């Protein structure tokens, strides 16, 4: 409907404001550089631990973890351990859930509805989305708790607005409910597109290094 379309447009306007404008995107360079430094350290670790001493067995997965770490740091100002030797289990589950959702999305889109209770694809598809939103909700809840604690300690005048989600909520451009509905999808989409783009870029560079 027109009302739903207008609401969607308002959400996209709010979400895009601090991401797509070059001047605003430049605010995140320090965060990106910090994650890139850790990515390079992890890359060297994986190469050194490989049988040959100079290979990484699954660059696509490593790019997934790099993208997730960077995007979470920007959205929530929180490092979630994707580039550590031991990755938190909920982070691993989130990455697997993205793959699970995409693997079954084709069946969910094109197979008739009567197949959903009969074939396993529909449950896998829903399980993937449920895990994606659960992960996003956890991060949003933690950020809201941090904001509330800062407000209680410093008062309204002492709150320092920082980070993507903090800005959207503090400015009133996004309600907590809208954040719950929008940011997990933004997180998922950013991880998938960034990691796939980097993987293909690396492939073409290896084929044509000049």
The answer on pLDDT for 198 being more than 80 is yes
Q: Are 170 and 161 in contact (CB under 8 A)?
A: yes
Q: How many CB atoms lie within 10 A of CB 120?
A: 10
- Which segment of 23-32, 49-58, 91-100, 150-159 scores lowest on mean pLDDT? 150-159
The answer on pLDDT for 171 being more than 80 is no
Separation of alpha carbons 176 and 18, rounded Å: 17
The pLDDT tens digits of the residues spanning 95-154 come to 888 889 888 998 999 999 999 999 999 999 999 999 988 888 888 888 888 878 877 777
The overall average pLDDT reported for the chain is: 82
Q: Measured in whole angstroms, how far is the alpha carbon of residue 126 from the centre of its chain?
A: 18
Cβ within 8 Å of residue 136, ≥6 positions away: 180, 183, 184, 187, 188
State the pTM of this model: 0.78
- Give the H/E segment covering residue 28: none
Q: Higher-confidence residue: 29 or 18?
A: 29
The answer on pLDDT for 43 being more than 50 is yes
What is the pLDDT confidence band of residue 8, given thresholds at 50, 70 and 90?
Answer: very low
Domain that holds residue 33: 2-207
Closest listed residue to residue 136, CA positions, set 79, 169, 182: 182
What is the pLDDT confidence band of residue 21, given thresholds at 50, 70 and 90?
Answer: low
| CATH code of the domain containing 54 | 1.10.630.10
* DSSP summary character for residue 116: T
Task: Say how many domains are in the chain.
Answer: 1
Could you please report the per-residue DSSP string of 142-181?
Answer: HHHHHHHHHHHHH-GGG----SHHHHHHHTTSS-HHHHHH
Q: Higher-confidence residue: 147 or 79?
A: 79
The answer on pLDDT for 7 being more than 60 is no
Separation of alpha carbons 140 and 77, rounded Å: 11
Report the pLDDT averaged over residues 179-188. 77
> How high is the pLDDT of residue 10?
57
The answer on pLDDT for 3 being more than 90 is no
């Amino acid at each position: 409907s027109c009302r739903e379309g207008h609401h969607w447009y308002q959400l996209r306007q709010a979400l895009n404001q601090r991401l797509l404008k070059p001047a605003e995107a430049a605010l995140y360079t320090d965060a990106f550089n910090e994650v890139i430094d850790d990515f390079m350290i992890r890359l060297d670790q994986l190469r050194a631990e490989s049988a040959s001493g100079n290979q990484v067995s699954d660059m696509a997965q490593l790019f997934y973890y790099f993208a997730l770490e960077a995007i979470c740091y920007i959205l929530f100002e929180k490092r979630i351990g994707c580039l550590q030797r031991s990755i938190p289990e909920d982070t691993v589950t989130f990455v697997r859930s993205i793959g699970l959702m995409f693997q079954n999305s084709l069946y969910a889109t094109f197979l008739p509805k009567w197949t959903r209770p009969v074939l396993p694809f529909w449950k896998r598809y829903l399980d993937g989305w449920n895990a994606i939103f659960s992960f996003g909700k956890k991060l949003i809840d933690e950020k809201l708790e941090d904001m509330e604690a800062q407000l209680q300690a410093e008062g309204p005048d002492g709150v320092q607005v920082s980070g993507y989600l903090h800005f959207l909520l503090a400015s009133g451009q996004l309600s907590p409910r809208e954040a719950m509905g929008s940011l997990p999808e933004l997180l998922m989409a950013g991880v998938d597109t960034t990691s796939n783009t980097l993987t293909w870029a690396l492939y073409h560079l290896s084929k044509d290094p000049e």
